[in-house]
């Protein structure tokens, strides 16, 4: 049996950085990864997909050149092999950077294999047994495949496999109208495929307020994406030239099907029962406010604990664990203000409460909205789709939440994220003097228009 000061299972965005901090403190650490370092973000999420989004935007801008007085003769052609290779290069470079970083650390042992608990302090991997007083789980999540009629008879794609396509689908049917599915829908439409989005719920991006969801649908429809919401029945069958997707309201002749109906944690094959670690009904590991499980000496970080399915929340889990265990701090998950983005174009930047959540909280609230068509920078760039929205507490004057669906919305939202984390009231933020001409300069104006509801 090999002994360590700590064992980290999973090489995503929390575990490896925590392992590195512990090594800096002179600890002996084993990092176990069953496949690739970097987790979903590096290998099948943020980095490759946003690289693909950039290629798709380049195609869109090229096709739109005439609007700006830039005439490109001939048809804009897409070389999917180059598109795929570019995304793979970004992923490989990031992964190799991690490999090189860890290889230079004394005290770090990287093991590739499938780890399972033998007891609360012991795991087995590749026929070896390892033990440590501290074990950290950072095992991530994977796509959910729903049990739909005919699904096992077709060759479907997931968010993991579609990034390896080097040919353009004739018609891509996206099953699921949430964030992952919508990004791929717009991306492949811009590459030149016909695209249909099929969503069980009554609207796209169901987490958002209805006005945001409607605006997202308008953006996608304006680019020729076919959207079906409120679909109760879906079935698949092979056809002579692809796949037939039959719903209760339409019949779609697709060449490819992307299943984008959510993700589930990779916790079902870790031997958690042997360690006594509790999970909820969805398989997420139950943790307290400091990310500790019910078993002393075991923590769960990142997607597998159900407290955020984003790279930045996973990394923040590392920051919380490191601060509490190594720096004598007392940081809590409940102190985190959730923020995220939807990377369609224009993007959606989101922070804090939605209007629906704010109304349900019983607070006296104020709301302001402003169309992007009234933003000078948006008009100058010719990108006026979407709008800004902010919600504030009428009594405390604190900002409760905001949504910016529009040009650079994923960046502009950070002004509000920073203000909320600093506890700044909206009247104070109104007196900032932002740079002109930017999108962010409209934040004080947006706040100035707050009205009670």
List active site positions.
436
C-alpha span between 423 and 298 (Å, rounded): 33
Which residues are within 8 A (CB) of 31 and not within 5 positions of it... i.e. 6 or more apart?
8, 11, 15, 16, 19, 102, 108, 109, 110, 111
* Cβ atoms 260, 184 nearer than 8 A: yes
C-alpha span between 27 and 261 (Å, rounded): 41
* Cβ atoms 417, 384 nearer than 8 A: no
Place of tokens 């920051």: 319
* Cβ atoms 137, 292 nearer than 8 A: no
C-alpha span between 32 and 117 (Å, rounded): 12
C-alpha span between 84 and 167 (Å, rounded): 9
C-alpha span between 135 and 133 (Å, rounded): 7
Residues of the chain by 3-state class (helix, strand, coil), percent to 5? 35, 25, 40
C-alpha span between 343 and 331 (Å, rounded): 30
User: Maximum distance among all alpha carbons in the chain?
Assistant: 70
Starting at the edge strand found earlier in the chain, the sheet holding 234-239 runs 234-239, 242-247, 251-254
C-alpha span between 135 and 275 (Å, rounded): 11
Dihedral of CA atoms 206, 209, 215, 220 in degrees, nearest 10, equals -10
Cα angle 244, 246, 249 (rounded to 5 degrees) comes to 140
């Amino acid at each position: 049996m090999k002994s360590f000061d700590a064992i980290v299972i999973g090489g995503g965005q929390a575990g490896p950085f925590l392992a590195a901090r512990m090594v800096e403190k002179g600890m002996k650490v084993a990092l176990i990864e069953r496949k690739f370092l970097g987790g979903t973000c590096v290998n099948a999420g943020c980095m490759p997909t946003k690289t693909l989004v950039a290629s798709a935007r380049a195609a869109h801008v090229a096709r739109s050149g005439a609007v700006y007085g830039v005439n490109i003769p001939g048809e804009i052609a897409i070389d999917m092999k180059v598109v795929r290779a570019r995304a793979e290069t970004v992923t490989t470079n990031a992964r190799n950077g991690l490999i090189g970083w860890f290889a230079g650390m004394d005290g770090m042992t990287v093991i590739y294999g499938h780890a399972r608990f033998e007891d609360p302090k012991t795991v087995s991997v590749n026929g070896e047994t390892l033990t440590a007083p501290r074990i950290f789980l950072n095992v991530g999540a994977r796509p959910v495949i729903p049990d739909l009629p005919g699904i096992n008879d077709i060759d479907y794609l997931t968010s993991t496999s579609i990034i390896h396509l080097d040919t353009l689908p004739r018609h891509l049917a996206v099953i699921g109208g949430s964030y992952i599915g919508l990004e791929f829908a717009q991306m492949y439409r811009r590459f030149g495929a016909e695209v249909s989005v099929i969503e069980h719920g009554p609207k796209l991006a169901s987490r958002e307020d209805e006005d945001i969801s409607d605006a997202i649908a308008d953006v996608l429809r304006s680019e020729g994406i076919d959207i079906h919401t409120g679909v109760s029945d879906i079935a698949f069958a092979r056809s002579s030239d692809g796949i037939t997707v039959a719903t209760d309201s339409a019949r779609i002749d697709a060449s490819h099907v992307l299943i984008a109906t959510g993700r589930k944690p990779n916790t079902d094959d870790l031997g958690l029962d042997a360690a006594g670690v509790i999970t909820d009904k969805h398989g997420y590991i139950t943790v307290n406010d400091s990310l500790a499980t019910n078993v002393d000496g075991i923590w769960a970080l990142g997607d597998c604990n159900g407290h955020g399915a984003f790279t930045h929340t996973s990394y923040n889990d590392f920051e919380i664990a490191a601060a509490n265990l190594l720096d004598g701090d007392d940081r809590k998950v409940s102190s985190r203000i959730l923020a995220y983005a939807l990377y369609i174009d224009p993007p959606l930047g989101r922070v804090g409460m939605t209007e629906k959540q704010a109304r349900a909280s019983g607070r006296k609230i104020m709301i302001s909205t402003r169309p992007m068509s009234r933003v000078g920078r948006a008009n100058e760039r010719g990108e006026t789709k979407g709008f800004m929205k902010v919600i504030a507490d009428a009594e405390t004057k604190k900002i409760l939440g905001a949504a910016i669906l529009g040009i650079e919305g994923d960046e502009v939202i950070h002004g509000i994220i920073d203000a909320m984390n600093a506890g700044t009231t909206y009247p104070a933020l109104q007196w900032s003097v932002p740079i002109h001409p930017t999108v962010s300069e409209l934040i004080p104006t947006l706040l100035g228009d707050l009205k009670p509801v």
